[in-house]
Structure 1
């Protein structure tokens, strides 16, 4: 079964094609700079251990033009992997915000699209782009079933004590203002891998997704019970350009005393804060270079980043009433051994004991980096959101085989 996975951004499209039930993609790609001059398509063919890369530069006015070029690559006489776009039987879409309407992977209908559209105001940077990806895919892959996988779905198991805010009831009941959480596709994927590795489906774990965006989730027996991101993806940990937790009084001070507009505050907290605001860099590799060169501000930012994560580990261990494992994932979590060491330092009271030599080993596989006598496992689990999406789509189709008939 040919299942095509699309992750549509405001000016980009990530994609992978799987021939399920084989979970290794047969091609992957990225379309960048859509709507700008010199758009770039990077298309990778994967056959066994061989990888062939095709790069194209052209002007792509919109997402439809970009996806049309991808369809041409998929069906190209020399490098194509299918003969016709109609051979794609299902298209899986990453949709960032599902609100309270969607707690699981969902077949896309007119009604589902209308609901996704209603949620634009809750994720103005993401849902419109995700919606556009659905509209374009419907035009190009005309026989495919369109399926939505929601980033918020994994966190729909959180209890009210975790997702409600202490503001008047009407803001929740009438306006849907509550914590939703994000990165759910990644947290769900690494949770499943961790439970399988531990051979314990009742394990209490904390998953730590550290990329440009960062979030943590308290997981009890495979179920999300709390997560650091909230109503939007700004809350919680210090991120590449986002502030994370901040006293709301600062916003009022910026507007009322310093003359900032709300748009300026929004831009400040989302795009100019976090590690970028503290150091001038959002990439951890640049910050590590700064630390090596004696940059005290970079060192402070790194300390703050780790400190915030440690605070959340403590609070989530309390919520879980115990801890079996902590899990590092995503770009920084998987590759930055120094930040993992800082986070795990002086955490032995919680049973977290890092093995420094194991921590330095680089690998693309799931690995254990705790000492042999550590009561809590410390794992590095590479995330794979596209694989999680395709597996959820395939599972939905297997449960409802009539949808392809």
Structure 2
């Protein structure tokens, strides 16, 4: 039995989820009221949530609850605006919850390396281990660890649970994880890990609830946001995914390149004389939709300019092409396709991207209902379509909150 269940205050409490990126921090509170049938039942929707955006920019903003707009906040009074943002979130949360306590904090940690797959309570030793994986996920890993370290120093008694984006892909076979380089590097942990695992875990739950046996067949989930990847599932377990050793691999993304010929990287360093730091900036921040278009990483903005700016249309076309090519490869590996699910920001809200992708996959028997697609309906394929195409919002925060019960 979870120690949280044993020690839950009579009036209940909250599990807090933190998702820390390089320029934003998202938080959510899930209310835990009582034990039900020997276990804790966590509501699917957060009791309260919010985020601080553009932390290191000129106009940081705090967005609370369901408010469509944020309130400007001043983080410049602190030498470290990121830590100032964490302090501000902590104070807002304490003001909101009153006397009912936070009983645990779950953190989305992007990389668990080859050691951590299950959620784990963070100790100083675990924190040191996770710090060694920063080079594998430099956009996210260090910021989650800052939040953990700050809270560990402030409240060492409060359970903090690391929930790993790599964990869901632990079920992929070793042959899928291996890189075709000298075997000595496999033994040192250089392998394909896969990411967006909290999102895929949620999709494995909700698709089973909604579609039963159909979802447990040959399914591909397309997590399309500023970061993007695909996951091929059988029996709702990960069989393969497009991201690999790092979050740079696979699909073209908002500002990240996705799969690229390693020779191109060597060229940038040898011929263009870019330093390691400069190459990292190109691959992580100046590529993808933004890099190709030169305008934006937002498909809506690119669509608005695509008739007059050929680079914007090229960016969209390349983005779709990479998705289609990777879906084709994963479909071949699965031996067919029965369900295609779109999720995350672009996947959930861009009817244009879904239409263009599905149009190129018509050979699989996909037939889209354009009216349903335009309305972001839950099922957007026709009744005649051989592949059921669905749209489902992801819920990584709820998955992380539930992971607390497995580790605390």
Indicate the TM-score class for this superposition, using the shorter chain for normalisation: 0.7 to 0.9
Relative to the length of structure 1, the TM-score reads 0.88
Superposed CA deviations along residues 82-119 of structure 1, whole A, max 9, x for unmatched, are 237xx111100110100111112122223322221222
Superposed CA deviations along residues 11-36 of structure 1, whole A, max 9, x for unmatched, are 43211111032332222121345467
Superposed CA deviations along residues 11-62 of structure 1, whole A, max 9, x for unmatched, are 4321111103233222212134546776433333x7xxxx698836222444
Distance 1:124 1:347, change over 3 A: closer
**For the residues of structure 1 that align with 2:252 and 2:102, how far apart are their CA atoms?**
40
Q: 1:205 aligns with which of 212, 219, 240?
A: 219
Indicate the structure whose relative CO is greater, using CA pairs within 8 Å and at least 6 residues apart: 2
Aligned twin of 2:93: 74
Aligned twin of 1:58: 74
Distance 1:264 1:56, change over 3 A: closer
280-289 vs 298-307, which moves further: 298-307
Q: Which runs of 5+ in 1 are unaligned?
A: 398-402
Matched, 1:194 2:213: no
Shift of 1:348: 3.2
Aligned twin of 1:303: 317
**For the residues of structure 2 that align with 1:35 and 1:145, how far apart are their CA atoms?**
29
Distance 1:143 1:52, change over 3 A: farther
Match runs of 1:14-53 below 5 Å: 14-20=26-32, 21-34=42-55, 39-44=60-65
> What SS does the aligned partner of 2:255 have?
coil
Q: 1:256 aligns with which of 270, 281, 292?
A: 270
Relative to the length of structure 2, the TM-score reads 0.87
Aligned twin of 2:387: 376
Tell me how large the CA RMSD over aligned residues is. Answer: 2.2
376-385 vs 201-210, which moves further: 201-210
**For the residues of structure 2 that align with 1:11 and 1:18, how far apart are their CA atoms?**
24
Q: Which runs of 5+ in 2 are unaligned?
A: 1-12, 33-41
Aligned twin of 2:35: none
Aligned twin of 2:9: none
Matched, 1:12 2:17: no
Match runs of 1:164-203 below 5 Å: 164-174=178-188, 176-200=189-213, 202-203=216-217
Shift of 1:377: 0.5
Tell me the matched-pair count. 382
**For the residues of structure 2 that align with 1:52 and 1:257, how far apart are their CA atoms?**
47
**For the residues of structure 1 that align with 2:256 and 2:158, how far apart are their CA atoms?**
37
Matched, 1:237 2:251: yes
Superposed CA deviations along residues 66-85 of structure 1, whole A, max 9, x for unmatched, are 33322322233xxx22237x
> What SS does the aligned partner of 1:288 have?
helix
CA contact (8 A) 1:88 1:141 kept: no
CA contact (8 A) 2:293 2:314 kept: no
Shift of 1:215: 0.5
Aligned twin of 1:286: 301
**For the residues of structure 2 that align with 1:284 and 1:52, how far apart are their CA atoms?**
20
Shift of 1:318: 1.1
**For the residues of structure 2 that align with 1:254 and 1:184, how far apart are their CA atoms?**
32
Q: 2:361 aligns with which of 330, 335, 347?
A: 347
**For the residues of structure 2 that align with 1:53 and 1:371, how far apart are their CA atoms?**
36
